[in-house]
Each structure stands twice: as C-alpha cells, then as structure tokens.
Chain A
Amino acid sequence: MLVDRLGSGYKERFSLFNEQEGLDDGPDFLSEEDRGSTLPNFKQNEFSVVRQHEEFIWLHDSFVENEEYAGYIIPPAPPKPDFDASREKLQKLGEGEGSMTKEEFTKMKQELEAEYLAIFKKTVAMHEVFLCRVAAHPVLRKDLNFHVFLEYNQDLSVRGKNKKEKLEDFFKNVVKSADGVLVAGVKDVDDFFEHEKTFLLEYHNRVKDASAKSDRMIRSHKSAADDINRIASTLYTLGTQDSTDLCKFFLKVSELFEKTRKIEARVAADEDLKLADLLKYYLRESQAAKDLLYRRGRALVDYENANKALDKARAKNKDVLQAETTQQVCCQKFEKISESAKQELIDFKTRRVAAFRKNLVELAELELKHAKGNLQLLHSCLGVLKGDT
C-alpha cells in the first residue's frame, strides 16, 4: 500500500503493512508503517513503526482534545476493523467440517480467506487515509503527537479507555448533542456558515442513509455471488457423477459459473471499495465537519453570552473588567475558529468533490470492465454450448 501525498513541497510516503498471526488467533490489528519523509522536524529520513488500532484512536483523540485545533476539521478516526463476521463464519466452517465434502470445505475456506483479506485491505486503507489526511493538513502535520506516533519506535502504551472513561465519554456526547441542538437553533449572522450548517446537517443524514443502503445492496450482491459459487460446485458434481451426455454440458456450465461468480464477487467488492467506503468516509468526515460547526456555534453562543454578561456588568457597573476579558477571549476564540473553519469547510468541499469524482469514475470503469469480462465469458460459453451440443 503506497500512497503519495503531497503537502506543500514535502513528499511523504506511508506504507502500511499488516501482519496477522493466522486466522485462528483471532484478529489483532497491527499496522506497520514506513515513512519516507523530507519533513524537517523528523530526525531520520526513513523509519518505520508498528502501531495498533488503539494508537490511531489515541492520536485522533489527542487532536480532538486539543483546543488549538478547534477550528479545524479533525480527520475522522479509522473505524475499528470488523472481523466478527469472518470469525463467525470461521467457526461455522470448523463446525461443519465433518458434514461437507472436501471440495466444499476447501471452497468455503478459500472464500473465507478471500473475505478476510478483503476486510484487511479495507481496514488498512482506512487507517492509511487517516494518516495521509493528517500529513496533508498544514497544521496537524506539525503536531507533536503525530510525530511521536510516527517516530517513536516503541509501544506507545496507549491503553483503551476504561469503563469510567467510556461512561464519561457517553455523558459528554449526550450533553454535546443536546447542546448541539441548542446551538444549531441559533441563527448565524454569517450567511456562509448558516448555509454550511443547513447543508451539513442534511448532507450528513443523507450520506448516512446512502452508506447504510449501499452496504445492504453490496451484502446481497455478495450473497448472490456466493450462491452462484455453490451452484457452480453442485453443477460440477452433477457433471462428474452423471453418466449421460449431459455431463459435459454441466461441466461447461459449471466452469462458466465458477468464473462469473468470481467476477460477480469482484463487482461486489469493488462497489464496496469505491462506493460504500467512500460514503462511509464522508459520513465520518461530515460528522467531523459538523463537529467543527458545533464548536464554532458553541464559541458563538459563548461570545454572545459574554456580550450579554458584559452589558449587564456595565449596567450594574460590576465586574466589568472581568466580563470584558471574558468577552474578549470569547471573541478571539470565535474569530479564530471562524477564520480557519471557513477555509476548512471550503477545503472539505473540494476534497469531497475530488474524491467522489475519482471514485465514481473508477467505479464506472470497474463496472464496465467486469461487465465486459462477464459478457465475454458468456459469449464464449454460449458459443461452445451451441456449437458442440
């Protein structure tokens, strides 16, 4: 996995490799990254470290918690790899081992391995995207934690959050979303932000919906491909056991199905990669953008409150100085956020359009490629069947 990303004149290269200790140990996600960098603040030009998913999360959280970055869209953290489904299937495979034929077993095992590999690649890609986003960000890439993350060649000894912290997070989220509703209700003075706010709210919901729907679509596509696979193998057994003249015919059709199901599975996988993952990423990214707007909205509300407090203080002529400083701090904070947020949102849009363009073009091309491959197979098979039957 190589990705070239450029940040103003610097060229950085990440590559993530994933090591997995066999299917049986259960997935333990590790990523190793290589980084070739000419960034001045790195001590070496090439280095690599091994990082776990939790460490990525830690990095992300450190960005979120940093007040300095309040005005930026924090790159969304990569999702936790989901190997549950595969694990479940693996278990089923183990249980069913006795009851199926050897061919079926090998076939299922291959299927499972392929699926596993696909999830793996996907997970890696998502983690990579996160790092690339950070590295491409003019401010975040200079973050100290980021550098530690990339350079420190030992375990970061990041621990997962314990229960108490998780509970705190939960309450924070509840408060935040309740607050979010309050803040969202405030009419923004700036048309740009007002527009962005309504857009993002709607967009986020829609992209969430589309993402869920695409997942379902792809899942059924995969099941269909699996069915074709099984049909192919049954046809194969029919072809080998049948003593009539039909057997050649069955074998031929089985061969065809075996190939088409591969293509069909590829179609599903590519749709997953190009479409579903894109949508999923923008689901998270739009959430991050929404968070940015929330922070700005919060700052705005704070600022307005500070203004009101100042007015009150002035009217009562009491604690005026303190109110003034608060008001000033709030004002500064708000203005700082607004300033960077505007650029961030514009960037977000550019990035989004570019990403959609890239993926949709690729999707269409892949769909075409697969359909043409399928067509080719069907043509030649039909030619054979019509010719020699």
Chain B
Amino acid sequence: MAASSERSPPPFPDSEEPELLEDSDEGADAFTGTSISEMDSPSPDSTRPPKDIFNEPPEDIFSDPLSNINSEPQKKVDAKIPSPSSDEAVDLFSDPLDDDSEVMSSPEVQNPMPDLLNEPVEAPKSDVLGEPPVSSVKKAASSEMFGDDDDDEDLFKEPPKVVTKKPQPSGPPVDVFTEVKSDVKVKPQVKDDPTDLFAEEALTAPAPKPSAGSSSSRTNGVHSEEQDLFSEATVELSLDSPRNDRKNKDAVKPSVSAPAAPVASSSSKAPSKTLKELEEEESEDKFDLNISITNPEKVGDGMNAYMAYKVSTQTSLTMFRSKTFTVRRRFSDFLGLFEKLSEKHSQNGYLIPPPPEKSILGMTKVKVGKEDPSSAEFVERRRAALERYLQRVVSHPSLLQDPDVREFLEKEELPRAVSTQALSGAGFLKMLNKATDAVSKMTIKMNEQDVWFDEKIQDVENEEQHLRKLHVMVESLVNHRKELSGNTAVFAKSVAMLGSSEDNTALSRALSQLAEVEDRIEQLHQEQASNDFFTFSELLADYIRLLGAVRGCFDQRMKAWQRWQDAENMLQKKREAEAKLLWANKPDKLQQAKDEITEWEAKVTQYEREFERISATVRKEVIRFDKEKARDFNRQVIKYLESLLHSQQQLIKYWDAFLPEAKAIV
C-alpha cells in the first residue's frame, strides 16, 4: 500500500479530470447511494456516522428540525465518501503508469465496474476470474504468503474481490473517519506521503457506491432510509457514545471539509478502479499483517490466576501507529473482542471468526497444577487456537478495519471484558438465546427462493455433521497414537530388560538395539500424535466452530427475512384497517391510517432491502469462507501428510539401522 501511495503523486494532475468525472457520477449516485448504503446497513455501522454527527455538532442536531438533521448527516456522509474516492482515483491511475506489472490491469479495469453495478451479486465471481491484471498483483502477494502453487491464486483472487464489496455496507463509514484522523497524525511522523491518507480512505470510502449498485433502490430508498437513519442514530447514540473515541469526532472534520467537489461528478469506471485498488490493498493488507501469539504466562495465583499471552503484530499498514508492536492479552480479552465484533457486525451477515471455547476444566488445571504436561499442552493448544483466531479476524477485510480490532492489537491496556468474565451468567444467557433461536428457527418456515442458499444451508449442515464425526475420529486417533507411544515406551523398556537377561551375546545386543529402535519409534509416535492433534484435529475443530458461525450468518439472514415478512403482514393489516375505515366512512381516522400505511410501506421496502443486502453479504461471506476453507484444508492437510511422510522416513532409517544387528545374531 505504501508503495502505491508513493507512486501516486506524479500522475496526480492528470488524474484530476477523471476523478472529477467519477465524482460527478457519484454525486448523482451519491444521494441514493449513500442513503441506500445507510439503509442497507441498518443498525450498527450506519449508525456510526450519525453518531459522529451527533458528537460533533450536537447542538445543531437537537435544535434543528428533523428534516435538517436528516439532510445534515446525509450531506456529510456523502461528502466524506466521495472525497476519498476521488483521491483514490489518483492512486489508481498512477498505479498503471508506474508499475509495469500492474499496468496490465488498466484496460480491463474499466470494464468490470458496469458489471458490478448491473449484477452486484453475480458479478464478483466471474469478474474475478476474468481479470488477470488484478490477479497478477494479488498473485504476487498470495504466492508469497502461501507459497505453494499457482492454483492458490484462484482461491486468492476471489476472496479479495468478494471482500472489497463487503466493507461497503457497514464498516466503512466508521473506519473512514477514524482512519482519516489517525493517518493525519501518522503521516508526519512516519514518512508516508500524503497520498497515503487517500489510499487509506480509498480502502473504505468507495464502498458505499457499489453497494448502492442496485439501481432500483433509489426511488424507495431515500425516503425510508432517512427515517431509518434518524431513528437508529438516536438509539445508537445512547449505546455508543460513551465508548466512542475522540478519534471519530476529529475524523469528521476533515471529511466534512471535503464535501463539495465530489457531489458533482461520476463515471462508472472510476468506482471499479477503486474496487481494484481495494482488492490490491486488501491482499497487501493480509500480506502485511503478521500476528503471532507467544509467551503464555501465568499471572497471579490460585483461582484468580490467568494466562496472559503476548500478541505481537508486525505490519507495514499505515493504519497502525508503528510497524511492530506487542500487547499482552488474556483469554477473556479475546472473547471480549469477539463479543464486540459480533455485536457490531453479525446482524449484517458477516462471518465473525469464533474464538476458542472457554475451558473451565483445562484452565482450572493450569491454575492449580504446577508443571503438568497436560496443562502445558492445554496452554499451547489455546495459544495456537487464539493465534489462528486472530489471524482469521485480521484476514477479514472489514473486520480488520474495525477500531476494536486495532485497539485490541495496539492499545496497551484494554478495559476488562466483563461479559465473558461472569461466565456462568453470560453463558446461561447465551444458551437461552440459542434455545430461543432454535425454537424460532423451527417455527420460522422460510420458503427459500434462492436455490443457492437452499443448497448451501443444506451443505453446511451436512458438512458440519461430517466434520464433527471426523473430528471425533481424529481425536480418537490422537488418543490411540498417544497410547501407542506410551505402550511402545514400556515395551522398549521391557525389551531392554529381556536383552540384559539374555545370555547369548549377539542376541542380547540385538535386543537392546531393538529396545533403542522402539524408544525412537515411541518418540516418533508422540510427535505424530501431536501432529495429528495440532495440524489435523485442531483444523477440524476450528472449522466446526466456523461452520457454526456460518450457520449463524444464515440465521441472521433468516431473521432479516422474518422482519421483512412481519412488516409485510403488518402493512397488510394496516391496509385492511384503512379499507375498513373507508367503508365505515370515518375520515378523521383515515389520515392516521394512511400515515401508518406509508410508514409501513417504507418499512417493508427498507426491510426488504435489508434482507437483500444481508443475503448478498452472507453469500459473499460464504464464498469467501469456502475459499479460505479450501486453502486452509489444503495447506494443513498437506502439512499433515508431510509430517506423516517424515515419520515414515524416520521409521525406515531406524529399521534400516536395526536390520544388520538382527542379522548379526549367531
């Protein structure tokens, strides 16, 4: 990313023009677009911008009439979004010019956007596959990251694309603000060009446009959305404002300043490019961010003791204050992060990677036990699981943008995650929630119209079931392998004893050699058992959890559907009521009824839109998940097979050495 930003300056003047164009286009879109985007991302994210607004000029809002408020935020949002995009366009154009490897992209770059706009859902897949240039860039990154093969790029190519779309609806607004702010600060210190700022913004900013893509939304969207925006904003305000950072506030200012220019212009090409940029950025992000968890350390004594882990991050991403930093986190912090993320993002259909489960038994052992191998194993297992968890979080393009994630990685002291602490209470509530969810799932009979979802849901359920089964078996293999290792050790000792009591010298020698061989094999089995566990079994465990999360996404989608249907029903009722009033000739109440109808009509469209959006998001998320799953399994299983290979090689070595000893018996 830094590289691209550095490249950008020269072409800047040239690019100005296209930028304008693009902006104008956007402007046209902008109204509807932003409104839609807001509308689409109902509660958490969309609420953010309003929240900011409230923080910043609070008196305004409260003094102004409703309409004012609505228009105000809208303007701001619009302004913010386009402005980065325009800047970002600079990047885009500069890229092809400067970098030959990436240049290839320029011709194609222009095409995809129309696609995106026309068929937002379908397009990503086909587009991605068809676009060599983007992939080439990505390939570079991906190949470095995942080393293995060209085939990977396929996997890789797609997710970023998918990814880019995701950030649009929900995350971006918030991020934009914070980012702008932080970047501004950083720039002077860190030596990055000012363009960085834009690039960073670009990451998030262009998002709303594509999401807005569905053209139909315009007519309906504006109206209903305004209401939505407002109502949500107020609700959210109470929730969020306390922990809202000053960052956000500050961030609003720069963005506010930018508004005028973008409103005017647009061209379909530009957004597409920004998308591309996004993709590149995304892949670079992944590439640039290295998280490792090390040094689990027991803090405190007795039942109040806990394990603290060192979370080290290595990155060249400018959104972070420095290139390397470490923090100490405890397990509940990880859970807290998950809680925060799922609170914010799950109802948008995002797949939030689930953290490892809390294990009272294991932790109690750690607390009580001194130096027990099983507790050491437990700690290592948890360490590895947490590491994978964090890596999954940051590899999710929109989650990476979340301020809480950054805070988690960067901030020295985190407020303690309270909800996870009171485990029994929270756990109970969660269970209750799950139970009600299950009930509602049974009662909600969704007539699925999307075949893709229908099949996918089925697949996921089947897969989860099979993975569970597989997991049990692999666990059993681990246990048996451990048992085998133990028994081999015992046998080795026994053979050594037998050898010592054997009075034929050569045989005695051969037996003690055999004992040595068995000893080594015991080590081998042990290593293999831990490989079974850490490379294979844990992979399965992770994916069982992840599939659970995927199902959660489907549930969120179903809830959205249910909301829409309920609204539909309500609207129906209101209409009936109106008809009755008409018939009864009660004009005094008629106006109210009409108002209600318009209100509910708006709601229906809004909910429908929400449902559509969440469907698209879930779909993208699932596709991304499938890609990652394929990649993960591929990598892990190959790693596992390699460990098996190594075992066999060692075995051959051992027995080869033993054979002459056996033959030497006379």
Contacts and interface: CB of A to CB of B under 8 A. Distances in A.
B652 A364 contact: no
A360 B514 contact: yes
A202 B662 contact: no
Contacts of B487: 213, 216-217, 219-220
B490 A224 contact: no
A361 B663 contact: yes
A290 B170 CA distance: 84
* Top-5 shortest CB links A-B: A227-B477, A357-B665, A360-B662, A220-B484, A213-B491
A195 to B, nearest CB: 8
B652 A372 contact: yes
A386 B148 contact: yes
Given A360-B514, A382-B642, A231 B655 contact: no
Interface in B613-666: 626, 629-630, 633-634, 637-638, 641-642, 644-645, 648-649, 651-652, 655-656, 658-659, 662-663, 665-666
B429 interface: no
Given A206-B498, A230-B473, A249 B630 contact: yes
Contacts of A223: 476, 480, 483-484
Interface residues of B, number: 61
Contacts of B483: 220, 223
Contacts of A220: 480, 483-484, 487
B261 interface: no
A383 B581 CA distance: 76
B569 interface: no
A352 B501 CA distance: 14
A364 B630 contact: no
Contacts of B648: 371-372, 374-375, 378
A224 B510 contact: no
B510 A360 contact: yes
Contacts of A381: 641
A199 B491 contact: no
A326 interface: no
A289 interface: no
A385 B655 contact: no
Given A353-B504, A378-B645, A389-B151, A243 B510 contact: no
B645 A382 contact: yes
Nearest to B536: A231
Contact of A210 (B459, B474, B495, B642): B495
Nearest to B481: A224
A196 to B, nearest CB: 9
Interface in B449-500: 455, 459, 462-463, 466-467, 469-470, 473-474, 476-477, 480-481, 483-484, 487-488, 490-491, 493-495, 497-498
B327 interface: no
A368 B652 contact: yes
B503 to A, nearest CB: 6
B658 A364 contact: yes
Contact of A375 (B148, B459, B490, B649): B649
A79 to B, nearest CB: 20
Contact of B501 (A206, A221, A241, A249): A206
Contacts of B469: 234
Interface residues of A, number: 59
Nearest to A229: B473
A64 B498 CA distance: 28
B372 interface: no
B149 interface: yes
Contacts of B497: 206, 209-210
A210 B497 CA distance: 9
A364 B151 contact: no
Contacts of B289: none
Given A220-B480, A389-B149, 7 more contacts: A206-B501, A223-B476, A242-B463, A244-B459, A253-B637, A357-B665, A368-B655
A349 B503 CA distance: 9
21 contacts: A206-B494, A210-B494, A210-B495, A210-B497, A214-B491, A216-B491, A223-B484, A224-B480, A234-B470, A249-B630, A249-B633, A249-B637, A253-B637, A364-B655, A364-B659, A364-B662, A368-B659, A371-B651, A374-B644, A389-B148, A389-B634
B502 interface: yes
Interface of B: 148-149, 151-152, 455, 459, 462-463, 466-467, 469-470, 473-474, 476-477, 480-481, 483-484, 487-488, 490-491, 493-495, 497-498, 501-504, 506-507, 510-511, 514, 626, 629-630, 633-634, 637-638, 641-642, 644-645, 648-649, 651-652, 655-656, 658-659, 662-663, 665-666
B151 A375 contact: no
Nearest to A246: B630
A365 B655 CA distance: 8
Q: Is the interface of A mostly helix, strand, loop or mixed?
A: helix
A231 B474 contact: yes
B637 A213 contact: no
Nearest to B652: A371
B651 A382 contact: no
A382 B504 contact: no
A244 B473 CA distance: 23
Contact of A378 (B152, B493, B506, B641): B641
B490 A216 contact: yes
A372 B473 CA distance: 26
A227 B491 contact: no
A32 B266 CA distance: 95
Contacts of B511: 356
B634 A238 contact: no
A49 to B, nearest CB: 37
Given A217-B488, A227-B476, A356 B644 contact: no
B630 A244 contact: yes
Interface string A42-75: 0000000000000000000000000000000000
A237 interface: yes
A281 to B, nearest CB: 14
A172 interface: no
A356 B477 contact: no
A360 B476 contact: no
Given A217-B487, A353-B507, A368 B473 contact: no
Given A224-B481, A227-B473, A379 B645 contact: yes
A246 B629 contact: yes
A231 B473 contact: yes
A231 B498 CA distance: 37
A321 B152 CA distance: 102
A143 B502 CA distance: 32
A96 to B, nearest CB: 15
Nearest to A202: B501
A255 interface: no
A388 interface: yes
Contact of A356 (B455, B659, B665): B665
A230 B476 CA distance: 10
